[in-house]
Amino acid sequence: MAKGTALPRTLQHPARLVPLAFLLAIALGTGVLMLPAARAGEGSAPFLTALFTATSAVSVTGLAIVDTPTYWSGFGQVVILALFQAGGLGIMSGATLLGLLVSRRLRLSTRLVAQAETRCVELGDVAAVLRLVLLATFGVELVTSAVLVLRFRLGYGEPWAEAAWHGLFMGIAAFTNSGFSPYSDSLVGFAADPVVLGPIMAAVILGGIGFPALHDMRRNPRRAAKWSLHTKMTLFGTGLLFAGGTAAVLAYEWGNPATLGPAGPAGKLLGAAFHSAMTRSGGFNALDIGQMRPETLAVSYVLMMIGGGSASTAGGIKVTTFLVLGFVVWAEIRGEPDVTAFGRRISREVQRQALTIALLAVGFVGMATVVLLSVTDLDLDDALFETVSAFATVGLSTGVTADLGPAGHAVLVVLMFLGRVGTITVATGIALQSRQRPYRYPEERPIVG
């Protein structure tokens, strides 16, 4: 960059670069969506509608205050697709870049490594790493889209052009975990179709694992013992939460006539598994969320808040953060001096980072829920579901998003932005500012518990 065009020093801090990039993308998307050509009806979209949609797309959330296929024109839907595709790619590369800056303190112009929270990816050439990110992203999206295009055309009789657009839109939305759908009812119309729900669920899970873990598995596909602790924890946590979520949804919704009740055993399993996967950040729904039992909604809160893998397109506090805290609790219960997992000791710095991220997330959601309750007529269940979904960039809703009013929509816009970039920047900021004091204060033990 030329000397005269360099960014101010305050903006060159890595914990500020990614939020700035997201803000610029949201601003650009808002401006384009306000053009008359982006709206299907007459006139242009109001500022708040365009801002909410652009923020939801760039943050790959999927919450919407208008019906995507009917409110936005073909051009507007293409813009939304471009925004969540760019958001997904930017999130992955931005998070892994910050991981490198934390661990190696290298300049942006020298190298890029696909790394987040651990050193599971080796340092490498910028072009080579970006090429791997792009190939993984476009490869999964292409395969998913191809399957969906054929299914929409051959199974549902959609014209080739319509099937191609719907398949492409859904394929990209699935891997980026964006939750946007070209159908007004999301995927409720395909609730009993495993050929539609299966590929989407697989793409969502792959996108939610995270590039560092995918790279690690690609490098050692048959040697799990060589995988990093980050990869092992991500896969273990993903499998555990997916299975546990599926079992919980089956247990609570099995006889619910408004959700899984009318389906057969195979259909119930498919519906429960799909909802479990989508609460981890996918954002699509094949069941009516507003008709679910309170117990299922409570399980959904937990799954949404945890989210997916680090440096992935998923949101939440991340699987590794949740597991680190779990291992801390287990070590404390057992009276062990070290926190260990899979034969490795977890450093105290990582434990502190995990605790900070989790408490900040709970604080953001708690404050936003109180504000939402004060500016709307929602009950606690609906308000909490909306705030958790927005902060964790999930995109699921009990059906009240459009009716929240300007103040409520503004709250969700802030949450979607904070949820997507907040935990990354907080973790990076902590690591970059870590230092050793030349002295230590006297130790004292306050009473806890």
Confidence check: pLDDT of 170 > 70: yes
The residue-averaged pLDDT of 430-447 equals: 73
C-alpha span between 392 and 416 (Å, rounded): 7
Burial class of residue 159, CB neighbours in 10 A (0-12, 13-18, 19+): exposed
pLDDT of residue 222: 82
Q: How far apart are CA 235 and CA 216, in angstroms?
A: 11
Q: Which residue has the higher pLDDT, 270 or 310?
A: 270
pLDDT of residue 105: 45
In the prediction, which pLDDT does 123 show? 46
- Kindly report the backbone phi and psi dihedral angles of residue 345, in degrees, each rounded to the nearest multiple of 5, phi listed first: -90, 135
pLDDT value for 19:
78
Residue 115 has pLDDT above 50, yes or no: no
Regarding pTM above 0.85, the answer is: yes
Q: pLDDT-derived band of residue 14, with 50, 70 and 90 as boundaries?
A: low
Strand partners, 397: none
pLDDT at 118 over 50: no
Q: Tell whether the model's pLDDT for residue 407 goes beyond 60.
A: yes
- Give pLDDT, residue 259: 95
Q: Is 338 left (phi over 0), alpha (psi -120 to 50) or beta?
A: beta
CB-based burial label for 69 (10 Å; 0-12, 13-18, 19+): middle
Per-residue burial over 354-364, b if 16 or more Cβ lie within 10 Å, else e, is bebbbeebeeb
Q: Which residue has the tokens 């990354």?
A: 424
Q: Do the Cβ atoms of 385 and 397 come closer than 8 Å?
A: yes
Strands 344-345 and 340-341, by their bridges, are antiparallel
CB 237 within 8 A of CB 323: yes
178-203 pLDDT per residue, tens: 999 999 999 999 999 999 999 999 99
* 339-374 confidence digits (pLDDT tens): 999 999 999 989 988 998 899 899 999 999 999 999
Q: Please, which pLDDT band fits residue 8 given cuts at 50, 70 and 90?
A: low
Contact criterion met (CB below 8 Å) for 281 and 307 = yes
Provide the pLDDT for residue 223.
Answer: 84
Share of the chain above pLDDT 90, in %: 66
For the segment 86-106, what is each residue's pLDDT rounded down to a tens digit?
A: 888 775 565 555 554 555 444
Predicted local distance difference test score (pLDDT) of residue 432: 57
- pLDDT grade for 132, boundaries at 50, 70 and 90: low
Residue 294 — φ and ψ, nearest 5°?
A: -55, -35
What are the sequence ranges of the domains in the chain?
11-432
- CA 85, CA 326: separation in Å to the nearest integer? 33
The tens digit of pLDDT for each residue in 39-74 reads 998 899 999 999 999 999 999 999 999 999 999 999
122's CB contacts (< 8 A; 6+ apart) are 113
- Report the pLDDT value the prediction gives residue 131, as an integer from 0 to 100: 65
The pLDDT confidence band at residue 423, using thresholds 50, 70 and 90, is low
pLDDT in tens, 300-347: 999 999 999 887 888 899 999 999 999 999 999 999 999 999 999 999
Note the pLDDT of residue 226.
85
Q: How many separate helices (H) and strands (E) can be counted in the chain?
A: 16, 2
Mean pLDDT, all residues of the chain: 86
List, for residues 206-256, the tens digit of each pLDDT value: 999 987 788 788 878 888 888 889 999 999 999 999 999 999 999 999 999
Question: Which of 408, 448, 434, 301 has the alpha carbon at shortest distance from 361?
Answer: 301
Q: How far apart are CA 202 and CA 198, in angstroms?
A: 6
User: Does the pLDDT value for residue 119 go beyond 50?
Assistant: no
Note the maximum CA span of the chain. 75
Mean predicted confidence (pLDDT) in 115-141: 59
**Which token pair is 240?**
């555990």
